[in-house]
């Protein structure tokens, strides 16, 4: 999976959670489509997608899930060294 520079910076530089608004603002103008999954300030689950197709939305969620799981595997490998 190819990440843009701002996504790479977010992953590499963050040592604490970042404000959701900061992440969303950084994406404006760069995305062809978007899926937002989060938790509102009052604790409710939030989901929105710019895609009308449920299968396409699920496909992207699964691709990103696989990518995120590979990051966790890389962290585990570094701990073993």
Each residue's pLDDT tens digit, 34-67 = 999 999 999 999 999 999 999 999 999 999 999 8
Q: Provide the whole-model pTM.
A: 0.70
Count of H-run helices and E-run strands, the chain: 3, 2
How far is 5 from 3, CA to CA, in rounded Å? 7
pLDDT in tens, 5-31: 655 555 556 678 889 999 999 999 999
Q: Provide the H-helix boundaries in the chain.
A: 5-13, 20-27, 54-80
């Amino acid at each position: 999976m190819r990440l843009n520079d701002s996504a790479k910076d977010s992953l590499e530089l963050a040592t604490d959670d970042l404000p959701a608004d900061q992440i969303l603002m950084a994406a404006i103008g760069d995305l062809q489509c978007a899926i937002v999954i989060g938790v509102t300030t009052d604790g409710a689950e939030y989901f929105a997608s710019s895609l009308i197709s449920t299968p396409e939305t699920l496909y992207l969620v699964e691709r990103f899930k696989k990518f995120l799981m590979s990051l966790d595997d890389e962290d585990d490998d570094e701990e073993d060294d």
